[in-house]
Structure formats: C-alpha cells, structure tokens
C-alpha cells in the first residue's frame, strides 16, 4: 500500500540500534504528499512539523487559502486499517533487496502462528489524533497502528472547509490495492 508514492524505501537501523524510518505525510484534503526520508524513531512529531511549517518555509503550492500554517495543523492516523503481517512476512519485507533476502529461515526458533489478516474499521474510518509531543516509536507501538510498508500519517488544517468533513467521519482514505 502506498508503494507507488514511496518506492521501496525501508527503515534503517543505525549504530545505536535506533530505527530511522521514511514517513509518508498525506494532505487528506488534496491527496498531495510529502515524505520525510529520515524520521528517527526517537524524534517527536513536533520537531519535524516545526521545520516543515516554519515561518521561513514557503507555503504549500496548492494552499491558496493559507490554511496550512503550523498553528492550524493536526496530525492523524487511520486506526486498525490495513494488513497485519506475521513476523516472517515482516522480516521478508525488510530484507527484500539485501544479501539476506534469499534465506528461507531467519534463525527464529519460535513458531510464528500469526496469520496475515486484513483489518477494517467498518464503514467509517477511525481517525486517531497524534499528540505531536510523542515520538514516532510511541505511535508505532500503538496496538491500533498498522504500518502499511512505511508509517503513514494524514495532515489536516483546522482552518480548512475540509476539516469538518474529516472530523465527522465523512471522508475515508482511498483504498489502494
């Protein structure tokens, strides 16, 4: 999911055993996107948003109303939406394109009984607002957060006409096969 926007970007483990993720930010109102190529799992969301939407940053080209300013932004993720992968499937995905990608067994002696399952939140999506003072790691370990290849978050503006539809549950992210 979202692979056409991200290619085969994957998290990278640094020398301190901290993951650095590519993170996709979708502007739900116009389905435009930005990607943060190196979002350290120990970074707070506010740090990245402060840089992206500082007073020195140019406005978004499609934001003719000037609604997407730092003080008007809210960040969300869609809860319990996506395909839950087994440990083996996750390792296979992460190792794809590396020298270890051909291995059948990954040295895991535990039986991985988790089956792939598609989770849907019914007719209306469940949007969870992200506390910008939390780290990426905090959000990734939330039980209702499913990573669709890389972490995906939705940015909306409280000043936008779209905000009311989004908050009322009358908008859903397009389902990408």
* CA 52/CA 114 separation, integer angstroms: 38
List the CATH code of the domain at 3-100+113-167: 3.10.20.90
Whether residue 133 contacts residue 43, with contact meaning beta carbons closer than 8 Å, is answered with no
pLDDT tens profile 23-78: 999 999 998 999 999 999 999 999 999 999 999 999 999 999 999 999 999 999 99
**Max intra-chain CA distance, the chain:** 56
Whether residue 127 contacts residue 133, with contact meaning beta carbons closer than 8 Å, is answered with no
Domain ranges for the chain: 3-100+113-167
pTM of the model: 0.78
pLDDT tens profile 75-98: 999 998 766 655 566 556 555 656
């Amino acid at each position: 999911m979202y692979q056409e926007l991200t290619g085969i970007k994957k998290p990278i483990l640094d020398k301190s055993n901290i993951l650095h993720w590519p993170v996709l930010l979708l502007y739900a109102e116009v389905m435009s996107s930005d990607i943060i190529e190196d979002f350290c799992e120990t970074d707070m969301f506010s740090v990245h948003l402060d840089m992206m939407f500082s007073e020195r940053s140019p406005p978004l080209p499609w934001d003719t109303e000037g609604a997407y300013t730092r003080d008007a932004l809210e960040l969300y993720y869609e809860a319990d939406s996506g395909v839950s992968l087994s440990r083996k499937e996750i390792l296979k995905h992460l190792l794809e394109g590396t020298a270890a990608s051909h291995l059948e067994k990954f040295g895991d002696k535990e039986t991985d009984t988790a089956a792939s399952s598609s989770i849907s939140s019914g007719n209306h999506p469940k949007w969870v607002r992200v506390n910008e003072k939390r780290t990426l790691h905090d959000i990734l370990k939330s039980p209702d957060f499913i990573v669709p290849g890389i972490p995906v978050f939705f940015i909306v503006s409280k000043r936008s006409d779209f905000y009311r539809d989004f908050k009322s549950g009358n908008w859903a992210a397009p389902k990408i096969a």
